């Protein structure tokens, strides 16, 4: 069946370490197609569109080629119907603070941030390089996860290290998941029927990576991820906040290089490290219900850390208007949401357990709670497409 559209489109790509996710939008931001190539580089690689097909996908270039073949055979008539391709890029450093048409200089800046986001930036750039090769002449636009945080004040983004280290190496808090927090903040304002520039929000992005952001009148004032996406909340395999001395202590006592300790903190820690079972909240919830003590403590620690940040950001904002949950865990786990915000009535959150069980989008606090709590599904791809269209219109 030929379902090719006559419309002009924006393609959004999110290239991760072993996957390339894509979404095609028309210029009115209607979603035309969506899918992913997963397990790139493994013998079990596959592409998901309406169906799932096993494929040979040795690298990101092949993954993007597969995506384009699918789109051109099913959805897009001509390459010139793609107005631009938007790419999620995790770390833009101090220089890349706005969505940018990709040039050689922009690619160099993305490369300079490789060591700050080694799990993300190299793969984000691979997606861009593949598009340049496969669709010459079509604009690639990089949208940065760090860009949303430009308004965070210096007292919140500096670390208490010798100041020259900030000047010399740009060691500071950058913040991540900005595309998601921005989308969710805007959507929350819409759901509460209040202008964003009148709201103080605490948005909790709880997925495999987790972060929490305080936004005052539309501008972020603090966020939990820092110089890299390792700081802050407990995540699937990342440790989040801890005493920095532990790094050299582990290095000495376990006879590990600093590089290996970094890997341990990034990919062997968090929910996975504590439970020893899984980084997946679904598995941990099931195991905890069966009585597994380590799964139980992992969930307790995860939720307690979120609760502490909600408290500190409530203070930073002098009271929030709403606490918002998003991403895989935030959108799908009533159990986690309940543990994060029940018994916070003294700071104004009147939790509603039955709304929390049912709601897919909207309130999970009592209607007249002084501080509202909500679930808001994130849509990073839509936010990227919006920013690409704004840039190309300009
Ligand atoms: P994300 O990175 O946003 O895709 O989120 C991934 C995380 O969401 C994983 O830890 C999943 O276990 C978790 N998740 C997805 N669905 C559920 C669910 N129904 N209950 C609990 N956790 C879930």
Residue 119 has pLDDT above 90, yes or no: no
Q: Which of 145, 222, 241, 321 is catalytic?
A: 145
- Can you tell me which atom of ligand 1 is nearest the CA of 209? 2
Q: What is the pLDDT of residue 4?
A: 72
Does a structural domain hold residue 210? Answer: yes
Query: Which of 332, 339, 356, when mutated, tests ligand 1's pocket best, judged by the most ligand atoms within 8 Å of its CB?
Result: 332
Does a structural domain hold residue 155? Answer: no
Q: What is the pLDDT of residue 307?
A: 98
Q: Are 331 and 325 in contact (CB under 8 A)?
A: yes
> Average of pLDDT values for 238-249?
98
Same domain, 222 and 353: yes
The Å distance, Cα 332 to ligand 1 centre, comes to 7
CB-ligand 1 contact for 289 (6 Å cutoff): no
CB-ligand 1 contact for 335 (6 Å cutoff): no
Of 122, 144, 166, which residue constitutes the final position of a domain? 144
Rounded-to-integer distance, Cα 363 and Cα 375, Å: 7
Give the model's confidence band at 18: pLDDT under 50 very low, under 70 low, under 90 confident, else very high: confident
Pull the structure tokens for residue 27: 């210029």
Same domain, 301 and 348: yes
Residue 2 has pLDDT above 70, yes or no: no
CB-ligand 1 contact for 65 (6 Å cutoff): no
Helix (H) / strand (E) containing 310: helix 293-316
Give the model's confidence band at 96: pLDDT under 50 very low, under 70 low, under 90 confident, else very high: very high
Pull the structure tokens for residue 9: 């489109």
- Can you tell me which atom of ligand 1 is nearest the CA of 336? 21
Same domain, 220 and 117: no
CB-ligand 1 contact for 285 (6 Å cutoff): yes
Does a structural domain hold residue 212? Answer: yes
The Å distance, Cα 376 to ligand 1 centre, comes to 14
Does a structural domain hold residue 342? Answer: yes
CB-ligand 1 contact for 95 (6 Å cutoff): no
Rounded-to-integer distance, Cα 67 and Cα 24, Å: 11
Specify whether 145 is catalytic: yes
Of 144, 164, 188, which residue constitutes the final position of a domain? 144
Angle between helices 281-289 and 334-341 (to 10 degrees): 80
Pull the structure tokens for residue 126: 């691979």
Task: Check the CA dihedral 161-317-386-372 and report its sign.
Answer: positive
Mean pLDDT, the chain, as a whole number? 95
For ligand 1, atom 4: residue with the closest CA: 328
Helix (H) / strand (E) containing 332: helix 327-332
* Closest residue by Cα to residue 225 from 217, 215, 235: 235
Within 13 Å and on the Cβ side, how many CA atoms surround 40?
21
Rounded-to-integer distance, Cα 180 and Cα 387, Å: 13
User: In which region does residue 143 sit, left (phi positive, over 0), alpha (psi from -120 to 50) or beta (all else)?
Assistant: beta
The Å distance, Cα 236 to ligand 1 centre, comes to 10
Residue 251 has pLDDT above 50, yes or no: yes
Query: Which of 119, 177, 270, 281, when mutated, tests ligand 1's pocket best, judged by the most ligand atoms within 8 Å of its CB?
Result: 281
Pull the structure tokens for residue 328: 């895989």
Same domain, 346 and 235: yes
Helix (H) / strand (E) containing 26: strand 20-26
Does a structural domain hold residue 163? Answer: no
Same domain, 128 and 188: no
Does a structural domain hold residue 82? Answer: yes
Q: Give the strand pairing for 372-375 and 322-326.
A: parallel
CB-ligand 1 contact for 333 (6 Å cutoff): yes
Residue 1 has pLDDT above 70, yes or no: no
* Closest residue by Cα to residue 40 from 132, 123, 121, 120: 123
Residue 337, domain extent: 178-380
Same domain, 317 and 275: yes
Give the model's confidence band at 117: pLDDT under 50 very low, under 70 low, under 90 confident, else very high: confident
Does a structural domain hold residue 394? Answer: no
Of 123, 144, 165, which residue constitutes the final position of a domain? 144
Does a structural domain hold residue 182? Answer: yes
Rounded-to-integer distance, Cα 302 and Cα 238, Å: 11
Same domain, 63 and 121: yes
Number of domains in the chain: 2
The Å distance, Cα 133 to ligand 1 centre, comes to 34
- Can you tell me which atom of ligand 1 is nearest the CA of 271? 10
CB-ligand 1 contact for 303 (6 Å cutoff): no
Rounded-to-integer distance, Cα 314 and Cα 234, Å: 19
> Average of pLDDT values for 109-137?
93
Same domain, 182 and 282: yes
CATH code: domain of residue 114: 3.30.420.40
> Average of pLDDT values for 76-87?
94
Same domain, 115 and 193: no
The Å distance, Cα 208 to ligand 1 centre, comes to 7
Lowest-confidence segment of 13-17, 210-214, 308-312 by average pLDDT: 13-17
Residues 379-391 pLDDT 10s: 999 999 999 999 9
Residue 149 has pLDDT above 80, yes or no: yes
Same domain, 123 and 224: no
Q: Are 359 and 375 in contact (CB under 8 A)?
A: yes
Same domain, 112 and 232: no
Residue 394 has pLDDT above 90, yes or no: no
Rounded-to-integer distance, Cα 189 and Cα 41, Å: 41
The Å distance, Cα 329 to ligand 1 centre, comes to 4
Q: How far is CA 189 from CA 20, 164, 178, 195, 323, in A?
A: 31, 40, 17, 6, 12
Same domain, 242 and 140: no
Residues 198-240 pLDDT 10s: 999 999 999 989 999 999 999 999 999 999 999 999 999 999 9
> Average of pLDDT values for 284-299?
98
The C-alpha torsion from 197 through 316 and 162 to 117, rounded to 10°, is -60
DSSP state of 180: H
């Amino acid at each position: 069946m030929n379902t090719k559209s006559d419309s002009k489109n924006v393609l959004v790509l999110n290239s991760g370490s072993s996957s390339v996710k894509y979404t095609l939008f028309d210029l009115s931001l209607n979603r035309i197609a969506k899918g992913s190539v997963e397990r790139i580089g493994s013998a079990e690689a596959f592409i998901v569109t309406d169906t799932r097909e096993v494929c040979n996908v040795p690298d990101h270039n092949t993954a993007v080629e597969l995506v384009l073949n699918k789109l051109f055979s099913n959805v897009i008539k001509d390459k010139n119907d793609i107005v631009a391709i938007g790419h999620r890029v995790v770390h833009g450093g101090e220089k890349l603070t706005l969505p940018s048409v990709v040039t050689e200089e922009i690619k160099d800046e993305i490369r300079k941030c490789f060591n700050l986001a080694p799990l993300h930036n190299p793969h984000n750039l691979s997606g861009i390089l593949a598009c340049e090769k496969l669709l010459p002449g079509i604009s690639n636009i990089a949208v940065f996860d760090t860009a949303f945080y430009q308004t965070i004040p210096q007292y919140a983004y500096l670390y208490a290290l010798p100041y020259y280290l900030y000047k010399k190496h740009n060691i500071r808090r950058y913040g991540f998941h900005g595309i998601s927090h921005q989308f969710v903040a805007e959507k929350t304002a819409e759901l509460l029927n209040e202008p964003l520039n009148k709201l103080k929000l605490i948005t909790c992005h709880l997925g495999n990576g987790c972060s929490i952001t305080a936004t005052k009148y539309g501008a972020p004032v603090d966020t939990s991820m820092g110089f890299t996406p390792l700081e802050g909340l407990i995540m699937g395999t990342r440790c989040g906040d801890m005493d920095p001395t532990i790094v050299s202590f582990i290095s000495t006592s376990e006879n590990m290089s600093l590089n290996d300790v970094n890997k341990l903190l990034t990919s062997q820690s968090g929910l996975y490290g504590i439970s020893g079972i899984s980084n997946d909240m679904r598995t941990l919830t099931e195991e905890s219900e069966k009585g597994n003590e380590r799964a139980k403590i992992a969930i307790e620690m995860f939720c307690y850390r979120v609760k502490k940040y909600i408290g500190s950001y409530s203070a930073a904002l002098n009271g929030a208007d709403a606490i918002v949950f998003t991403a895989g865990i935030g959108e799908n786990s009533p159990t986690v949401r309940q543990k994060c915000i029940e018994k916070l009535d003294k700071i104004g959150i009147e939790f509603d357990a039955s709304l929390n069980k049912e709601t897919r989008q909207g309130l999970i606090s009592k209607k007249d709670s002084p501080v509202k709590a909500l679930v808001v599904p994130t849509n990073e791809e839509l936010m990227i497409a919006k920013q690409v269209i704004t840039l190309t219109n300009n």
